[in-house]
């Protein structure tokens, strides 16, 4: 389950609501597959006249590979999304491929990381692979790079705080976004 609440610039209002449940099958300790659904809502700026909310539904499938190099825990994720959008009063179907690589390094040198401070570096590339002309007319959709410091409270819960840089390709203009992130990660 992934639930996200994102604010607009300067936290003026809630900009995005994302609800992403999924069912996971663990092939073994290093490999898992997941399938799920996303409800994503982009709320219109309340200060703009005639602005409309954008609602997107997605089905998604993903494969995750976990590994360890020295003290670093590495996660690689490949996700395929089937996107159902309403753009300019027109129903649009597209598919997007996402690749994420994350390295988490605990400060403790224990063989098993159960509690303590860690740092993480993550990069995710999103590519339009079907109907790109409806999205931004490019295969490249966006890139998200983040750096976080976190604290593992237990084997079941982490708290993160960090910086996210997102570069989004548009039809004509490209957008660079700088954001602060606060994250709670749980494992059951």
* CA quadruple 158, 188, 112, 99: dihedral, nearest 10: -70
Is 11's pLDDT higher than 90?
no
Cβ proximity of 74 and 106 under 8 Å: no
Interacting residues of 27 by C-beta distance below 8 A, sequence separation 6+: 33
Q: Please list, in sequence order, all residues whose beta carbon lies within 8 angstroms of the beta carbon of residue 112, skipping any fewer than 6 positions away.
A: none
- Phi, psi at residue 134, to the nearest 5°? -85, -20
Q: How many whole angstroms separate alpha carbon 185 and alpha carbon 188?
A: 10
Q: What's the pLDDT tens digit per position in 22-74?
A: 999 999 999 999 999 999 999 988 888 888 888 999 999 999 999 999 999 99
CA 49 from chain center: how many Å?
Answer: 30
Q: pTM for the full model?
A: 0.93
**Structure confidence at residue 62 (pLDDT):** 98
Q: CA of 187: how far to CAs of 1, 2, 120, 152, 153, in Å?
A: 10, 12, 17, 11, 12
DSSP annotation of 136 reads T
């Amino acid at each position: 389950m992934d639930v996200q609440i994102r604010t607009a610039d300067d936290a003026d209002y809630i900009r995005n609501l994302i609800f992403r449940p999924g069912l996971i099958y663990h092939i073994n300790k290093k490999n898992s597959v997941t399938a799920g659904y996303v409800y994503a809502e982009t709320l219109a700026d309340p200060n703009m006249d005639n602005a409309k909310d954008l609602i997107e539904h997605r089905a998604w499938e993903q494969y995750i590979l976990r590994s360890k190099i020295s003290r670093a825990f590495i996660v690689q994720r490949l996700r395929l999304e089937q996107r159902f959008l309403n753009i300019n009063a027109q129903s649009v179907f597209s598919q997007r491929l996402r690749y994420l690589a994350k390295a988490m390094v605990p400060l403790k040198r224990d063989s098993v990381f159960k509690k303590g401070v860690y740092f993480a570096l993550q990069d995710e590339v999103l590519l339009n692979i079907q109907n790109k002309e409806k999205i931004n007319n490019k295969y490249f959709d966006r890139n998200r790079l983040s750096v976080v410091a976190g604290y593992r409270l237990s084997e079941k819960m982490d708290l993160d705080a960090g910086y996210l840089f997102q570069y989004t390709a548009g039809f004509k203009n490209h957008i660079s976004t700088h954001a602060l992130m606060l994250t709670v990660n749980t494992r059951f």
